A and B are shown apart, each in its own frame.
Chain A
């Protein structure tokens, strides 16, 4: 029997709300993204001190992946190099780029912060998730004008077809000032299709992305 690729889990964070596998698991009322992310971190009793040092893009990606993988003990199911990570967004690290730019705009007060500068690359969010879960499989960050389900599908399918990875975390992680949006998916292989399970494909990725939007 052939193997099927499925979207076993998904997590959506936007508009002060978190939806995990179709269920609203948190609704906040914090005014800024940073306050919302901290409230989520505390609500779910996460324990990872480095969270507080991350920029907002990484905090968003971290929280989405923590919730996506919660209770899965991924390290028991997969070896670290069997898990792929493919993320995308439109603004790259623009939110942190602006913070860094502010710190270097005044020549008389020229004190760029190393801990801000280190986050002026979008793919650092992948690094943070990899460090957290000890993942070292194939990874890639794509900058797109908008969410592109076909791009994600094609790349992840290729990795799975060629057995570069056995599963993959993929999706969209975007923040720009007060606007933030994370929609991430856990793609796995299975030989047994349970009723109601989401088959991995660009149409289904888009359907999930548009939930509540």
Chain B
């Protein structure tokens, strides 16, 4: 799980152009939106694309999106639970 979280942090930094951040500076338990990383709606779409492109996973509903995209850890938990690869 920790290896997946580390990998995910690097992928998030890459796709969201968070060039000022390092994996260590991201708290996997912090909220991704508003507080924490302060991501916006376009970032949310980019994270949804990341899940599909890198892990073959689609979010079924907007409600599921709110839960999955809550934090890096919640994203990692969703990947571990659903990724068959």
| Chain A residues engaging chain B, CB cutoff 8 angstroms | 38, 49, 52-53, 111-115, 118
Contact = CB atoms under 8 A, between A and B. Distances in A.
B46 to A, nearest CB: 5
A113 to B, nearest CB: 7
B16 A111 contact: no
Contacts of A111: 49, 52-53
Contacts of A112: 49
B20 A115 contact: no
Given A111-B52, A113-B49, A118 B42 contact: yes
Interface in B32-85: 38, 42-43, 45-46, 49, 52-53
B53 A115 contact: no
Contact of B20 (A49, A113, A114, A118): A49
Interface of B: 15-20, 38, 42-43, 45-46, 49, 52-53
Interface of B is mostly: helix
23 contacts: A49-B20, A49-B38, A52-B19, A52-B20, A53-B16, A53-B17, A111-B49, A111-B52, A111-B53, A112-B49, A113-B15, A113-B46, A113-B49, A114-B42, A114-B46, A114-B49, A115-B15, A115-B16, A115-B17, A115-B43, A115-B45, A115-B46, A118-B42
A52 B17 contact: yes
Contacts, number: 28
B9 to A, nearest CB: 17
Nearest to B47: A114
B39 to A, nearest CB: 10
A177 B20 CA distance: 25
Contacts of B38: 49
Contact of B42 (A38, A52, A115): A115
B53 A52 contact: no
A20 B46 CA distance: 37
